[in-house]
Chain A
Amino acid sequence: MEWFLANSAEVFSLAGQHLVLAILPMIFGVIIAVPLAQLGRQNRGLRSVVLTGSSLLYTIPSLALFIILPTILGTRILDPVNVVVALTIYAVALLVRAALDAFDSVDEDLRQSAVAMGFKPFARFMQIDLPLSLPVLFAGLRVVSVSNISLVSVAALLGIGNLGMLFTSGLQRDFVTEVVVGIIAILILALLMDSILVLLERLLTPWTRAAAASGAGTDAGTGQAKPGTAAAALRLSRPEAGGGTA
């Protein structure tokens, strides 16, 4: 605790860098994965290419990627861009599958009715497919968020500033406190990000809770009379509907 208080400014600065390195790839991941998934949906062949490709990408070890990328991108080995690109690749790999599942979860009847109302394909995608995919997409994003926050720390091995540096320096100096502070800080960061995502999802998908809260619909709005008296109880349907009983 003492060590943390003495070094809090540095821990916070590392946490800030850590967050930036984790969040940027999530944003780029969504921007790349969503159109890719939409492409994959339009064609069976493309779909399997996209799915297999994304699974393969995810199997590349992160450390290897951090080291190879500078050669491919022409960046310096210490450039944070390497981390952002590497984690974006993982985010895309995870999110493409989630987005495909999300788009598949949209009701076919709804899609048909949108076509029948005169939606053009792009408007339909933006106004119907995308918003209705949000719950499944957010589930994918939460996985990516946790995975990114943990993967960023690997980059500390290369000397790129983030909370992982507390591990490397703690291990080198055989100073356990620093390692523990690093672990706790990363845990807090992961929890924080997850809460933000949950909150964001709640804000963006208010309809999902409305459905859960009300359960089955009621007929209250059509003005059906509640049978209160014995007389009403015997009239089985509304008198103005021409049915009634005698």
Chain B
Amino acid sequence: MAEAMIEFQNVTKQYQGGQAAVDGLTMSIDKGAITVFVGPSGCGKTTSLRMINRMVEPTSGVITVGGADITSVPAPQLRRSMGYVMQSSGLMPHRSVLDNIATVPRLNGVSKADARKRAQELLDVVGLASSLGKRYPSQLSGGQQQRVGVARALAADPPVLLMDEPFSAVDPVVRDELQQELLRLQRDLAKTIVFVTHDIDEATVLGDKVAVFGLGGKLAQYAAPEEILRAPANDFVASFVGRDRGFRHLGFSPSDGVTIHPVRPVTPEQLRQEGSSGDWRLVVDDALRPLGWAGPGPAGAEPVMVAGGSLFRKGDTLRRALDAALSSPSGFGVAVDDDGRAAGLIAAAEVLAVIESDRNIRHGGL
């Protein structure tokens, strides 16, 4: 049983005249883990997050952090012990990137030179070039600004990180990158992170635990993401998790049983010399990294290369294996090794067979 860092005890937030935004919330948030609050808009997930650093004061109930009631210290002091990242980066446009990152240490009385030195290190931690430190926030892309936002939240090395839909305003490719980056950071830092999102995919990718909020500010289910996908507590959670939950759940299943067949790839030069043949052929560069597929054609004709599907890496989940096979034009997913070199092929039918046998084992065992 993990140690609790943040506890809500029967917390209710009622706005004047309106319905309860949060209704009798009791939950315990694990130390050193990512807990995701997810739910439709108006479900109280953001209000719950903002009650932790007293941006919103609860109508009734008690919240404790590290065992202490959050009202036992002045609000500004409490907030400096929690990093905060929001959807719009919230960076100060009139201060350089470095000074933005140095904000909370400066508020805590750290000297300008020391705070900047720390900020410079943090740029590296969040994967930004140190030359960006002197720029103003408006000179960065949206994804870079969010990275600076994360660096700023980490600057005073707070034990708790509150993240309010931090990645929802960036494009999907950058979001995916930022999510992976956050997971990588978390492996090193082991902060207690509370993350709000309306995207169930993001919740299951990031969360060690996921709290699904229902309408009226009630907690509908609070469990590991795998369990929420496999066994939604009620109809609301099932419908919120969506029709793809069966497919998403594969994201938690290991792909050990999937057979990787040997492949004989060709380089673009070899392909040009040999011309088309009756089969799909995998095209790789000189370092054996996959480039795409050459389609079948009449013998001797100029071969046409098409872009391939997603890649499967040994140790990936069944979801990735199935996606690699289904997204490949040839019907065969490409497996690569850790250096990105083509290592073999996987077939969609075989992946499905593994899924089927896993299911039988799980249900047979019950």
What residue in chain B is nearest A108 (Cβ atoms)?
B88
Knowing A234-B307, A241-B177, A245-B308, the reply to whether A210 touches B138 (Cβ < 8 A) is yes
| Closest chain B residue, CB of each to CB of A244 | B311
Contact status of A221 and B132, CB under 8 A, knowing A112-B90, A113-B86, A246-B336? yes
For A115, the chain B residues whose CB sits under 8 A away are 55, 79
Among the interface residues B129, B136, B340, which one has the most CB atoms of the partner chain A within 10 A? B136
Residue ID in chain B nearest A205 by CB atoms? B94
Chain B 136-148 against A: per-residue CB contact (8 Å), 1 yes, 0 no?
1011111111000
Query: Are the CB atoms of B290 and A246 closer together than 8 Å?
Result: yes
Whether a CB of chain A sits under 8 angstroms from the CB of B313 is yes
Chain B residues, CB < 8 A from A230? 268
In the complex, the chain B residue whose C-beta lies closest to that of A134 is B94
CB-CB contacts below 8 Å: B140-177 with A: 140-145, 152, 162, 173, 176-177
Contact at A234–B55, with CB atoms within 8 Å?
A: no
Q: By the criterion of a CB under 8 Å from any partner CB, how many residues of chain A are at the interface?
A: 43
The reply to whether B311 and A242 contact each other, CB–CB distance below 8 Å, is yes
Whether the pair B139, A211 counts as a contact (CB closer than 8 A) is: yes
**B176/A241 in contact, CB under 8 A:** yes
Chain B residues near A221 (CB-CB < 8 A): 128-129, 131-132, 140, 144
Contact digits for B87-98, partner A, Cβ 8 Å, 1 yes 0 no: 110111111000
Q: Is A61 an interface residue (CB 8 A)?
A: no
Q: Does A59 contact B (CB under 8 A)?
A: no
Do the beta carbons of B79 and A210 come within 8 Å of each other? no
* Contact yes or no, B107 A235, CB < 8 A: no
Give complex CA distance A107, B334 in Å: 48
A120 CA to B308 CA in the complex, in Å? 54
User: Cβ of B138 and Cβ of A234 under 8 Å apart?
Assistant: no
Q: Does B104 contact A (CB under 8 A)?
A: yes
Are B141 and A218 in contact, CB atoms less than 8 angstroms apart? yes
Which of B76, B135, B177, B342 lies in contact with A119, CB distance below 8 A? Answer: B76
B interface, by DSSP: helix, strand, loop or mixed?
Answer: mixed
Closest A residue, CB atoms, query B316: A242
Over the window 108-141 of chain A, the binary record of Cβ atoms lying under 8 Å from chain B Cβ atoms (1 yes, 0 no) is 0110111111111001000010011000000000
Contact A217 B86 (CB under 8 A): no
In A206-246, which residues have CB < 8 Å from any B CB?
Answer: 207, 210-211, 214, 216-223, 230-231, 234-237, 239-246
B143 touches A222 (CB 8 A): yes
1/0 per position for A80-114, CB-CB distance to B under 8 A? 00000000000000000000000000010110111
Q: How far is the CA of A242 from the CA of B78 in the complex (A)?
A: 39
Is B107's CB under 8 angstroms from A246's CB?
A: no
Measured in the bound complex, the distance between the Cα atoms of B103 and A96 in whole Å is 30
Separation in Å of the B157 CB from the closest CB of chain A?
14
Q: How far is the CB of B213 from chain A (nearest CB, A)?
A: 21
Q: Which residue of A lies closest to B332 (CB)?
A: A246
Residues of A within 8 A of B324 (CB): 246
Instruction: Check if B79 sits within 8 Å of A116, measured CB to CB.
Output: yes
Cα distance A220–B145 when bound, in Å?
13
| Most B Cβ at <10 Å: residue of A220, A241, A242 | A242
Q: How far is the CA of A220 from the CA of B135 in the complex (A)?
A: 13
Taking the closest CB of chain A, its distance from the CB of B248, in whole angstroms, is: 17
Question: Which residues on the A side are within 8 Å of B139 (C-beta)?
Answer: 210-211, 214, 217
- From known contacts A116-B53, A128-B92, A237-B173, infer whether A222 and B128 are also in contact, taking CB-CB under 8 Å: yes
CB proximity of A66 to chain B, nearest CB, Å: 40
Report the minimum CB–CB distance from B86 to chain A (whole Å).
6
How distant is A219 from chain B, measured CB to nearest CB, in Å? Answer: 5
Is B140's CB under 8 angstroms from A217's CB?
yes
Are A207 and B136 within 8 A (Cβ)?
yes
State which residues 69-105 of B face A: CB under 8 Å: 76-80, 84, 86-88, 90-95, 103-104
In the complex the two chains form, what is the Cα distance from A245 to B289 in whole Å?
9
State in angstroms the CA–CA spacing of A123 and B103 once bound together. Answer: 12
Question: In the bound complex, what is the Cα–Cα distance between A244 and B289 (angstroms)?
Answer: 10
Note all chain B residues with C-beta closer than 8 A to A217: 138-142, 144-145
Q: Which B residues are in CB contact (< 8 Å) with A220?
A: 129
Taking the nearest CB of chain B, how far is it from the CB of A113, in angstroms? 3
In the bound complex, CA of A237 to CA of B289 (Å): 13
B293 on interface, CB distance cutoff 8 Å: yes
Contact of A109 among B90, B293, B311 (CB under 8 A): B90
Q: For the complex, give the distance between the alpha carbons of A110 and B94 in Å.
A: 11
In the complex, given contacts A217-B142, A242-B313, what are 13 additional A-B residue pairs having Cβ atoms less than 8 angstroms apart? Answer: A109-B86, A115-B55, A116-B84, A117-B84, A118-B80, A217-B145, A220-B129, A221-B140, A222-B128, A230-B268, A234-B307, A244-B311, A245-B290
Which 6 A-B pairs give the minimum distances between C-beta atoms? A113-B90, A246-B290, A246-B334, A246-B308, A118-B80, A211-B138
6 contacting pairs across A/B (C-beta < 8 A): A109-B90, A112-B86, A216-B141, A241-B180, A244-B289, A245-B291
